Every structure is written in structure tokens, then in C-alpha cells.
Amino acid sequence: MLQGKTVVLGVSGGIAAYKIPNLASRLKKLGADVEVILTENAGNFITPITFEALTGNRCLINTFDRNFRFQVEHVELAKRADLFMIAPATANVIAKIAHGLADDMLTTVFLACQAPKFVVPAMNTRMYENPVTQDNLDICRRYGMKVIEPARGYLACGDTGAGKMPEPDILAEHILLELACEKDLAGKKVLVTAGPTCEAIDPVRYITNHSTGKMGYAIAQAAAFRGAQVTLVSGPTALAAPLGVKLVEVVSAREMFEEVTKAAGEQDAIIKAAAVADYRPAYVRDEKTKKSGGQVSLELERTDDILAWLGEHRQPGQFLCGFSMETQNVLENSREKLLKKHVDMIVANSLREEGAGFGTDTNVVTLITQDGAEQWEKMTKFQVAHRLLDRVFKDSGKNGGIPDSPPDMGADF
């Protein structure tokens, strides 16, 4: 996903420097050419040899080292960079880059670099919250640098609070969001639904289904990677929200209906990948239903049909795509849904198909449109997401190549 991209990692003298070899390794596996620059103080926490073994490139420290590969190393490296990230960024380094100081290799290359710049503060809470540091970060933002906010937690100094560097997988996702795809969907607004809904029986029990949300989350992330403004309306899942996506969490079909209809009017495309309950209990008990000796019947009523509402209230030029999970008569049932709901496309798959269904990392789908049916081979859900977006936005240009698999960051699609 980062093939042909050069990522420069600047490592300053904070204890969080020990996490950066993990980030360098992840980026290398994703195909990036990774260059690492250490400050002299960073060398007290992590050795250059570690980065050299992981990246295959010489780790840079000294501005005046005569053995550099290029005559003017800081300028050449700055030109080659597609992205420059300083992680961890100490208060000292933040102060330097905010005011254009360049007294070592890291700050010199940073000042010469015109590629996107990311600053990852990591320090003691009191240092981070100091007004001077916050002013310097605001200056960085004003100059177009992207500041990745630190996490809160237990710090190496023993304090608890803001200042903890985000984990390498999160930093890698920021880099992927910037570099993985061309931004061919920039300016487009996309709403995606994902996951199951849960329909309460009483305060303890509910009705739901086996959806994990993986397909919908993959679509949302792919759209964000390609520059779209994405709203993800999700039922309960175990998945983390994709970076760059507005997550709206819901539980019931009614809540999902309200959130989708509220946001639908301004969307260029709506992709309904959620497995919404068709029925809910007609009566929700206030107390837990106690077990009795006999059988219990549960009266059900229809939930709101979100896709039908969207078909009836679509905006001019808006593209509507629904999903259809079937166990039999897949094409016939999906065509009927396409016509009945007045939508542009149905993505159909069968629970009986190997490699498809709930909870898998792959999918086997058939696209149903007014023009006919198009069956796709088995792919990862991330691949399906990109090809689906290509079809939805077929007039939006090319995305420069579809990644073969989701990013190896511990994300679970």
C-alpha cells in the first residue's frame, strides 16, 4: 500500500522512542522506503543499528558526517520524502520546528522538506499542557503541520494524564490515510452503515444477528483513504473506528433509521452494509423476564425500512447501494429488493458461499443493477470495498491501484 513512497521518521529524545522501530518495521512491510533521523539525545534511548537493520537504510544523526550518500544530504532527503513524521516529538523539538530553528540533522531536513509533516508530541503531562508548548503546537498547525494528539495514560515518569505517544499501529494508520491512495473521492460525502442492530426484549435480553461490521468498516476506511468525507453509522461491533471517519454509534434499528435519515440529504452516496433487524419485540418489558415452567411467545413488529425510505426520498444525483445476505435464491431475491426499494445497486452474497458470510475477512459478492448481474471472485473485504467504490463513483477517476489486502496494523475488518 506504500510501494514507491518515502517516509522519513524523525526520532527525538523521549522514552517513547523505543516504540518507533515497530512503526518503521510496519511501514517497511507496507512497501515504504523508510529513512530514520535521530537526534543525538534519541541515541540514548535507541541505537541507530536497530533502525538500519529494519529499514535497510543508514540511520542519520550528524549533519556534518562526511560519509553521507549525497553531497547535500538534508536537501536531497527532503526532496525525496513523501511524508515526514517526528515521533516522539519532545517539547524541545516542537519549539525548534515551530520557530524554524535548524541546528541538527532532524530539524534541518524538516525545515527543507515540503512534503506533508506530522508532529507526534510525547512528554510529561505538565510539559505538554504548558501554555508555551500549546502555543508552539498551534504555530505548527498554522504552518500546515498535522499534530497527532497524544493519548492519556500512565507515563514513564509515573504521572497519569495526556502526553502518551499513540501506539505504532495508530501512527501507521495516519500515514496510510495520507499516502495509501490517491484522493480521487475528495469532495464527496459518503454515508456507510455497518454492523448489526440489537432489539431489546427486556433490560437483559435482545434480538440480534451475526454481523460483525467488517464489510461496512472496510468500505468506510477505503472511502476515507481515497479522500471522501465519510459518516459511518454503526451498530454494536468490536471494531475500532477507522481513522478519518465520523463514527455514529447506534444500537437499535430505530436509532439507525433516525441517524441515517437525518444525514441522508447531504450525501453523494449511501452504502447500506448494516444487517438491520427486520422485526423487533412489540413490547419491551421494564424488568427482566423470569423463567417459567411453560413456553413463552414473543410478539414482533416490523422495524423501519431504511433502504425503502432512502429510495423514496433520494436527492438528485444521489447513489444508493444496499446489501443483501441470502441463504437461497440469491439473485432473484436481490433483484426484487433492487426494484422494490428503488435503489441503484444491490451487493448480494450468500451465507452458503465459502469465503463469504459473517465474520470472515473475505467476501464473494454479486453486483445487481438495472443492467444485470456481475459476479466477483473471492477477495478480501478491503478489495471488495475499493472495487465497489470504483463502481459507485465510476466517473470520479482512478484510485491509482487497489491494495491487495487491508493494512497490517492489527485492524480487524
The domain that contains 175 carries what CATH number?
A: 3.40.50.1950
Task: Decide if 410 is inside a domain.
Answer: no
Q: Are residues 337 and 384 in the same domain?
A: yes
Q: Quick one: angle between helices 20-29 and 168-179, nearest 10?
A: 40
Q: Are residues 334 and 292 in the same domain?
A: yes
Q: Are residues 217 and 298 in the same domain?
A: yes
241 to each of 82, 202, 412, how far by Cα in Å?
A: 26, 28, 11
- The CATH number of the domain where 319 resides is what? 3.40.50.10300
pLDDT tens sequence across 346-360: 999 888 888 887 888
Cell 490517491: give the residue.
182
Q: Are residues 276 and 214 in the same domain?
A: yes
The Cα 243–Cα 225 span in angstroms is 9
Number of domains in the chain: 2
- The DSSP bridge pattern shows strands 83-89 and 6-11 to be parallel
Q: Are residues 377 and 252 in the same domain?
A: yes
The Cα 121–Cα 30 span in angstroms is 24
Q: Does residue 350 contact residue 369 with C-beta atoms inside 8 Å? A: no
Q: Are residues 264 and 387 in the same domain?
A: yes
Q: Are residues 242 and 103 in the same domain?
A: no
The Cα 172–Cα 168 span in angstroms is 6
Q: Which of 151, 179, 207 is the last residue of a domain?
A: 179
The Cα 149–Cα 123 span in angstroms is 12
Mean pLDDT (whole number) for 61-69: 61
Task: Decide if 412 is inside a domain.
Answer: no
CA 50 to chain centre: 29
Q: Are residues 245 and 169 in the same domain?
A: no
Q: Which residues pair with 234 in a beta bridge?
A: 194, 249
The Cα 286–Cα 301 span in angstroms is 18
Compute how many other C-beta atoms are within 10 angstroms of the C-beta atom of residue 374. Answer: 12
Task: Decide if 405 is inside a domain.
Answer: no
Q: Are residues 153 and 64 in the same domain?
A: yes
pLDDT at residue 403 greater than cutoff 60: no
Task: Decide if 240 is inside a domain.
Answer: yes
Mean pLDDT (whole number) for 200-215: 95
Q: Are residues 214 and 325 in the same domain?
A: yes
Letter string b/e over residues 53-76, b meaning 16 or more CB atoms within 10 A of that residue's CB: ebbebebbbebeeeebeeeebbee
The Cα 111–Cα 101 span in angstroms is 8
For the ranges 43-47, 51-55, 70-74, 306-310, the lowest mean pLDDT is seen at: 70-74
pLDDT tens sequence across 248-282: 999 999 999 999 999 999 999 999 999 999 999 99
Q: Which of 160, 179, 198 is the last residue of a domain?
A: 179
The Cα 271–Cα 167 span in angstroms is 31
For this structure, is 198 an active site residue?
A: no
Which residue range is the domain that position 123 belongs to?
6-179
Task: Find, among 99, 120, 4, 106, the residue nearest to 48 by Cα.
Answer: 106
Mean pLDDT (whole number) for 196-214: 95
Task: Decide if 353 is inside a domain.
Answer: yes
Cell 470472515: give the residue.
360
Task: Decide if 113 is inside a domain.
Answer: yes
Residues in the chain: 413
| Residue 84 confidence (pLDDT) | 98
| Residue 290 confidence (pLDDT) | 85
Task: Find, among 60, 58, 5, 61, the residue nearest to 28 by Cα.
Answer: 5
Single out the catalytic residue among 59, 113, 157, 181. 157
Question: To the nearest whole percent, how much of the chain has pLDDT over 90?
Answer: 78
pLDDT at residue 375 greater than cutoff 70: yes
Task: Decide if 400 is inside a domain.
Answer: no
Cis, bond preceding 403 (omega within 30 deg of 0)? no
Task: Decide if 234 is inside a domain.
Answer: yes
Q: Are residues 136 and 206 in the same domain?
A: no
| Residue 408 confidence (pLDDT) | 52
Residue 247 per-residue DSSP state: E
Q: Are residues 237 and 386 in the same domain?
A: yes
